Amino acid sequence: MVDIPHKLPAVAPSTESALRVRLRRVRELSASVLANPTTVLGFVLIVAMISMAVFAPLITEANTPDPYQMPRDWGALNEPPGTDGFLLGTTNTGGDVFYGVVWGARTSLRLSLIVVGITVLVGVLVGSVAGFRGGKFDEILMRLVDVFLSIPELIFALAIAAVLGPSFGNIILALAVVFWVKYARIMRAQVLHVKANEYVDSARIIGDSGWNIYRRDVFPNAITPIIVQATMDMGHIVLVGATLSFIGLAEAGLAEWGVLVSEGQAGISAGRWWASTFPGLMVFLWALAFNLVGDGLRDVLDPRTETAR
Amino acid sequence: MTSVGSHPTETGRRDVVLAAREVAKHFPIKEGVLQRVAGHVKAVDGVSFEIRRGQTLGLVGESGCGKTTLGRVVAGLSEPTAGAVLFDIDSETLAAYDGGSSVGDIETAHKVDALTGDAYRRFRRNCQMVFQDSFASLNPRHLTIDIVGRPLRVHKEASGSGLTERVVELLEQVGLGRQHLYRYPHQFSGGQRQRISIARALALDPELIVLDEPTSALDVSVQAQILNLLHELQQANDLTYLFITHDLGVVRHMADHIVVMYLGTVAESGPTSAIFENQHHPYTKALLGASPDVDAAEEFTGLEGSVPDPAHPPQGCRFHTRCPVATARCGWEVDDVVRWIEDEPGAAGRLAGVKRDSAFAAELAFDDAATAAVVVDAIRSGRIHASMPEAVLKAESRDSRVDVEFGAVPDVELSVRGPGHVAACVHESLLDL
Ligand SMILES: Nc1ncnc2c1ncn2[C@@H]1O[C@H](COP(=O)(O)OP(=O)(O)OP(=O)(O)O)[C@@H](O)[C@H]1O
Ligand code: SF4
Ligand SMILES: [Mg+2]
């Protein structure tokens, strides 16, 4: 490397500003995320499914009084897909599969947003304090993490949900209790890693406060793996949630994909494939979509590839 | 001068900007699940020096000898385990401190890790540091203007367009300019990044800058540019430097005074000219890679062997394990025998146990009597080291055991070799070598 100060593309200094440079950077990053076709596919799927969740009441009329309960038509049991009024058929209790698919998206979005929101918040907070401050708090946390990690997450969530009793709210609670530990651990490791960089020492040398150093140096450089993990978990949690619903830990009759799969499975041997297949496919697509985008984000946000550009 | 506004508390312009007194930094070694402290890495183990206003002190030594650790302690980034770093103190007060009078008062006023409030802030702005790794020392998500302007923001010296202009001024001082304001660190070359680090260190108009190998990661041509820049800045801004390097050549033309460190301690220290004229420590000679006498130069052209583990530094003179002219009084000890056994094809793996009475006396147990006899012979005949037979008090085998004892040697102390020139070596006639 030869030291040539003016080799870089010259930009008119008067029009340049920090805001412009940052916006350009965001544009560049988005462009490189969207340069990957599988990421785009995942992104399109996510937008479609979230739109479905958001506009559910416009797509199919909300059931009353509780729109998250499946509407039942006892006069139309086991109708195949395409039957008049039942685009995707009905279940053996007269539930409209299409309604379940659409409102199930809403249930899934609610589940994943709440669980990821809570766990990321708690995990980042706890992991940051542990990593940045160290000391006793850190030691206690690491013991707790060891305990949590020694139990498979699905079994753990299952146990909690089973103890609390069958309800979808309890599934949300159980998943939140189980999943924050992962974020705490990632964040702690990241904070320790970032803290060892000399730019943190440089900030201490100029006399900046601990909070400013956390806010300006540590957090922004530590958070990207959390973003990637959270994206993946938006999908993963719906899968786990559906599994717990499937084995009966949600209220019966809930418009939720796992519940629907469970309801429809008895009919599969009798050739009534649709009641399980459509909601099952939705779970798969949901998990796949977030996974694809998470993967794409990881490649782009990886600081090594980032600085190489 | 580029300073904007006045310092909140003007420094007294005392002649010693910084003095280290018996500074030690030991890192605990933690082991096992319970993280028990199993020992200490003695990274810095009793170092003293002082840096006078406007001068450069070169701190030199091989990798792992504790230079960075000492630099960080000096800059207040970590607290010394023992000893004191005194900031902005005049010679008389320092002499009083060394003489043991009003130590408490002097420490309250000058000891870096005891400073509070305004005094601490004054130290913080007046002592800056530049690190070796220019990439790691700049936040990759911050623009140049954020990086160089940050000290000014933190100390509320400038904001808005005033800040931008100050940053441009600083960039121009280090050979960069306005066109570099809105760039990320990765858009610069290594040399340019180091210039940005220097600009940041200059922002608060400090008195002392700790430079931790600021050029050793750079290309040779760029190194020279940065060294020149540092030299110019020192002249222009009346700066005092603590210049850390592993390369004596780098500081030859910059340092007024040189401290040569070996394994956490000072091997030799003195005015640069004195050090380059007469090395009073074989380690300094080895670092220079040259001896005045060409015939004897053979044995000094390079350093052999590796640096011993700073958790278990050698007795007597820490350099005796590698010293080409080690004598019987240099601290021969049980470890020297054990190390030889581990490297000796005939004996390696036959050592069953070591029962130590002290570092100098132990009972060694072997798998067989033959090996024990070989070891005794090696000690007595001088096969391990030529000066060992003279140092050993007892080396006897009983079946497969060996009792070995050396005369206990205290740590080799620094002794005066000239004005301001000290060295820690017991060799009488090093100058004749
Ligand atoms: N935080 C730490 N914890 C434990 N040991 C440490 C720590 N920092 C440094 N050490 C040890 O202290 C010794 C001195 O390290 P230091 O980095 O000060 O050496 P150095 O002279 O700067 O070497 P280099 O030329 O490689 O930079 C080394 O043995 C190192 O492993
Ligand atoms: S005291 Fe001098 S001669 Fe002895 S080992 Fe140390 S450096 Fe070598
Ligand atoms: Mg170092």
Could you give the angle at the alpha carbon of A266 between the alpha carbons of A262 and A269, nearest 5°? Answer: 130
Q: Which of A7-11, A125-129, A298-302, B211-215 has the lowest mean pLDDT?
A: A7-11
Residue pair B189/B218 in contact (Cβ under 8 Å)? The answer is no
The answer to whether residues A171 and A257 touch, using CB atoms and an 8 Å cutoff, is: no
Considering only CB atoms, B204 lies closest to which of A1, A20, A206, namely: A206
Stretches where chain B sits below pLDDT 50 are: 1-10, 290-300, 432-433
User: 3-class SS at B417?
Assistant: strand
The residue whose CA has the least distance to atom 2 of ligand 2 is B425
pLDDT reported for residue A149? 86
Task: Please identify, by atom number, the ligand 1 atom nearest to the C-alpha of residue B70.
Answer: 18
What is the nearest CA distance from A159 to chain B, expressed in angstroms? 29
Beta bridge partners of B261: B266
Under 8 Å between Cβ of A40 and A307 = no
Residues 171-230 of A with CB under 8 A from B: 197-199, 201-208, 212, 216-217, 220-221
Determine which residue's CA is closest to atom 5 belonging to ligand 2: B320
Question: Which amino acid is located at B69 in the chain?
Answer: T
Asked whether the predicted pLDDT for residue A274 surpasses 80, the reply is: yes
Taking one residue from A and the other from B, the number of pairs with CB-CB distance under 8 angstroms is 108
Name the residue of chain A whose CA is nearest to B183's CA: A21
In ligand 2, the atom with minimum distance to the C-alpha of B324 is 8
Q: Both tokens of residue A35?
A: 């340069």
Instruction: Give residue A73's pLDDT band: very low, low, confident or very high (50, 70, 90).
Output: confident
The CA distances from residue B130 to A29, B72, B241, B251, in Å, are: 31, 11, 11, 16
Start-end of H helices in A134-167: 135-149, 153-164
Q: Is the peptide bond before A67 cis (omega within 30 degrees of 0)?
A: no
**Is there a cis peptide before residue A65, judged by omega within 30 degrees of 0?**
yes
Residue A308 has pLDDT above 50, yes or no: no
Among all chains, which residue has been given the structure tokens 């279940």?
A91
Q: In whole angstroms, what is the distance from residue A302 CA to residue A170 CA?
A: 36
Ligand 1 centroid to Cα of residue A143, in Å, is 29
Count the Cβ atoms, other than its own, within 10 Å of residue B305: 9
Which helix (H) or strand (E) segment holds residue B416: the answer is: strand B415-418
Residue located via tokens 């039957």: A83
CB atoms A201 and B138 under 8 Å: no
* Residue whose C-alpha is closest to residue B47's, from B75, B76, B25: B25
| Cα B386 to ligand 2 centroid, rounded to whole Å | 14
Terminus-to-terminus CA distance in chain B, angstroms?
Answer: 49
CATH number of B332-406: 3.30.1360
What pLDDT, on the 0 to 100 scale, is given for residue A53?
Answer: 95
The CATH class for the domain spanning A35-308 reads: mainly alpha
Beta strands in B272-360 (DSSP E): 351-356
- Residues having CB closer than 6 A to ligand 1 are B 27, 41, 43, 61, 63-69, 246, 310
β pairing state of B265-271 and B127-130? unpaired
For residues B394 and B371, what is the distance between their CA atoms, to the nearest angstrom?
17
Residue B404 host element (H or E): strand B401-406
Residue B123 CB contacts under 8 Å (≥ 6 apart), including other chains: B76, B87, B88, B112, B115
- What's the residue count for chain B? 433
From A6, A103, A3, select the one nearest A58 (Cα to Cα): A103
Domain extents in chain A? 35-308
- Asked if A12 has any chain B CB less than 8 Å from its own CB, the reply is no
Instruction: Tell if the CB–CB gap between B137 and A13 is shorter than 8 Å.
Output: no
Closest Cα to atom 1, ligand 2: which residue?
B425
> Residue A202 and residue B137: Cβ atoms within 8 Å?
yes
- Tell me what the pLDDT averaged over chain A comes to: 88
* Cβ neighbours of A66 (radius 10 Å): 12
**Dihedral over Cα of B104, B106, B107, B108: its sign:** positive
Contacts of A21 in chain B (CB under 8 A): 143, 182-184
pLDDT at A306: 47
Q: What's the pLDDT score for residue B206?
A: 96
CA-proximal residue: ligand 1, atom 31 (nearest): B64
Return the sign of the alpha-carbon dihedral for residues B243, B247, B248, B253: negative
pLDDT at res. A15: 62
Average pLDDT of the residues in A182-197: 95
In DSSP terms, B423 is beta-bridged to: B268, B415
Give the HSE-up count for residue A143: Cα atoms under 13 Å, Cβ half-sphere.
Answer: 8
Domain boundaries, chain B: 1-135+208-216+238-315+413-433, 332-406
Cα separation, B354 vs B363, whole angstroms? 6
**Which residue matches tokens 């080291």?**
B385
Nearest protein Cα to ligand 1, atom 7: B27
The CATH code of the domain at B1-135+208-216+238-315+413-433 is: 3.40.50.300
Task: List C-alpha distances in Å: A49 to A46, A285, A296.
Answer: 5, 9, 19
Residue whose token pair is 């009983």: B398
Contacts of B116 by beta carbon, 8 Å cutoff, 6+ apart: none
Q: What is the pLDDT of residue B430?
A: 65
Q: Is A305 on the interface with B (CB under 8 A)?
A: no
* Residue A307 sits at the chain B interface (C-beta within 8 Å): yes
Ligand 1 atom with least separation from CA of B71: 18
Q: Any CB–CB contact under 8 A between A10 and chain B? A: yes
The pLDDT assigned to A266 comes to 85
Per CB-CB distance under 8 Å, the chain A contacts of B137 are 197-199, 201-202
**Nearest residue on chain A to B219, alpha-carbon basis:** A1
CA atoms of A89 and B252, how far apart (whole Å): 87
Three-state DSSP at B312 gives: coil
Tokens at B375, concatenated: 């070891």
Alpha-carbon gap, residue A25 to B176, rounded angstroms:
23
